[in-house]
Amino acid sequence: MDTFDAASSNFVPLGDSALLIVFGDRIDPAPNRRAIALSKALADLPGVTDRVPAYASLTLHYDPGVWSHDGLVEAVMPYLADEGGTVLEDRHLRIPVCYGGAHGPDLDEVARHCGLTPDEVIARHSGGEYLVYFLGFTPGFAYLGGLDPDLAMPRRDTPRSSVPAGAVGIAGEQTGIYPQASPGGWRLIGRTPLRLFDPLREPPCLLAPGDRLRFVPIGADEFEWRMRGKDR
């Protein structure tokens, strides 16, 4: 999908006030990077209220009092041809995680299911580098790529009624962090003291699309110390 034209299925109306621009049909860093780059390039386009990159698409929410569908497609086309000029920030973040115990009640179960020891699960989970594809689902929730496929484990049959903010979990071949306390069915292997989302902070989200991150194991003492600290 390297060439774009207005008549192709790359531009799909999502109703009369949103435009879906499709870059590919699989989870892959290349189309995701194009979506993020285009989103940044269109930051100053008037009449566009929201730009939402996803795995391999960008959705533009716009005012139909300002743009028609065809008019917006036409306005976006030149940016697609000239996306080489956009430089993406290359942020590398380290997310401290207290694995196991009260903070990761499902660690032992994940280890048994995967035929590993709990320490091996921690080593593999914290050994890899993850890419933030996009934020969605709930405020500050990051869709991450890069989980070791050997750590895949299905969701719990019965979701927990409450999972604390910062809980690090595994669901199928995904891993992620709960930004807010909420019900949830993910297998919880640890918890980070970092605050992923705070509406009163600028910026509100710790993570951004395109970020690369690593999980760094910390002890329970450091977790408690950081939970009390001002760096949250």
Partner 1 sequence: MIRVEHPGLLSTLQDLGRPGCQHLGVTPGGAMDSYSAAIANALVGNPPEAAVLEMTLRGPELSFERGAWVSVTGADLSAEVDGRPLACWRPVWLPAGSRLGFGRPRLGCRAYLAVAGGFEVTAVLGSRSTDLRAGFGGLGGRPLGKGDIIAAGENALALPDDPSRPYLPAWSVAWNRALPLECPARLRLIPGPDWQALPDEDRRALETDAFRVGQASDRMGLRLEGPPLRLAAAERLSAGVTFGTLQLPPGGQPILLGVDRQTTGGYPVLGTVASVDHPRLAQLRPGETVRFEPVPAERAQTLFRIRALQLRRLRASLGLRWPLNTPSS
Of 24 and 105, which CB lies nearer to partner 1 in the complex structure? 24
Kindly state the greatest CA–CA separation across the chain. 59
Pick from 1, 5, 29, 64: which binds partner 1 (CB under 8 A)? Answer: 64
Q: Does 175 bind partner 1 (CB under 8 A)?
A: no
Count of residues in contact with partner 1, rule CB under 8 A: 49
E strands, the chain, are 11-13, 18-22, 48-53, 57-62, 92-99, 130-135, 142-145, 160-163, 167-171, 174-177, 182-184, 187-191, 212-217
Residue 200 phi, psi dihedral angles, 5° rounding: -95, 0
Nearer to partner 1 (CB atom), residue 25 or residue 150: 25
Query: Which region among 75-83, 123-131, 148-156, 202-210 touches partner 1 (by CB under 8 A)?
Result: 202-210
Q: Which helix (H) or strand (E) holds 32?
A: helix 29-41
Q: Kindly tell me which of 63 and 224 has the beta carbon lying closer to partner 1.
A: 63
Binding residue for partner 1, selected from 145, 166, 209, 210, defined by CB under 8 A: 209
**Which residues make Cβ contacts (< 8 Å) with residue 225, sequence separation at least 6?**
none
Out of 140, 145, 169, 190, point to the residue binding partner 1 (CB under 8 A). 140
Least distance between partner 1 and beta carbon 127 (Å) = 26
Among the listed ranges 56-64, 110-118, 122-130, 155-163, the one in contact with partner 1 (CB under 8 A) is 56-64
> How many residues does this entry show for the chain?
232
Binding residue (CB under 8 A) for partner 1 from 41, 54, 111, 188: 54
Amino acid found at 14: L
CA distance 149 to 173: 6
Nearer to partner 1, 134 or 215 (CB): 134
Whether the bond into 203 is cis, omega within 30 of 0: yes
Nearer to partner 1, 31 or 104 (CB): 31
Instruction: Tell the burial category of 230 from Cβ atoms under 10 Å away from its Cβ (0-12, 13-18, 19+).
Output: exposed
Q: 73 to 132, contacts with partner 1 by CB under 8 A?
A: none
Rounded CA gap, 202 and 197, in Å? 10
By CB under 8 A, what part of segment 9-28 binds partner 1?
9, 12-18, 20, 22, 25-27
What is the contact surface with partner 1 in residues (CB under 8 A)? 9, 12-18, 20, 22, 25-27, 39, 49-59, 61, 64-65, 68-70, 134-141, 143, 179-180, 197, 199-200, 203-205, 209
